Structures are given as structure tokens and as C-alpha cells.
């Protein structure tokens, strides 16, 4: 995973309507620290991405983001 252990880059991906398929999780924040946290919790981020199953790993690492008004889909990358 390219961000694993890198703390100066973060990615936020948000479907602002607040839903994606059968879940209320259409948004997530990821960075290197959260990838490391997932591994500490015994979760392999690459495995979850390959299975298109990001909800459990985002939930366990506190990476789900609640949205409000619908302004379409938004992706933001922050490089510090």
C-alpha cells in the first residue's frame, strides 16, 4: 500500500449524499497512519481494497466521515 507509514499525505473521498449501495458509508479518510493502525488491528488494507470491502477497515480505524448536504462526489488529496 503506497501510503502505508507516510504521514504527510491524506486522501478524502466523499459521496456527499451519504449513501453507497446498502450502507451509509459513502465517504472515508485514509493516510499512512490509518494504514498502519489497520495492520496493528490485524487487518490488511490491500486485501480489503482488492475485495472492494472498505467499510469494515474504515469503521475499525475511525476513518468513516459523516456528510451533510449533497454536492456530488468529492475527492481531496492533501500533501503537507
Sequence ranges of the domains in the chain? 9-79
Residue 70 has pLDDT above 60, yes or no: yes
CATH match for 9-79 among 3.40.190.10, 3.90.1150.10, 3.40.50.300, 3.40.1480.10 = 3.40.1480.10
Q: Using one digit for the tens of pLDDT, what is the confidence trace for 12-46?
A: 777 766 666 666 666 777 788 888 899 999 999 88
First-last CA distance in the chain: 19
pTM for the whole structure = 0.65
| Pairing mode, strands 73-79 and 27-31 | unpaired
Cell numbers for 60: 475499525
Collapsed DSSP state (helix, strand, coil) of residue 31: strand
Rg, C-alpha atoms of the chain: 12
Q: DSSP string of 50-76?
A: HTT-HHHHHHHTT-B----S---EEEE
Amino acid at each position: 500500500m503506497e501510503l502505508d507509514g507516510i504521514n504527510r499525505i491524506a486522501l478524502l473521498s466523499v459521496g456527499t449524499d451519504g449513501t453507497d449501495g446498502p450502507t451509509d458509508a459513502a465517504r472515508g479518510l485514509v493516510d499512512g497512519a490509518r494504514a498502519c493502525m489497520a495492520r496493528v488491528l490485524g487487518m490488511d488494507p490491500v486485501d480489503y481494497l482488492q475485495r472492494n470491502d472498505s467499510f469494515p477497515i474504515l469503521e475499525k480505524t475511525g476513518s468513516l466521515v459523516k456528510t451533510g448536504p449533497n454536492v456530488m462526489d468529492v475527492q481531496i488529496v492533501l500533501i503537507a
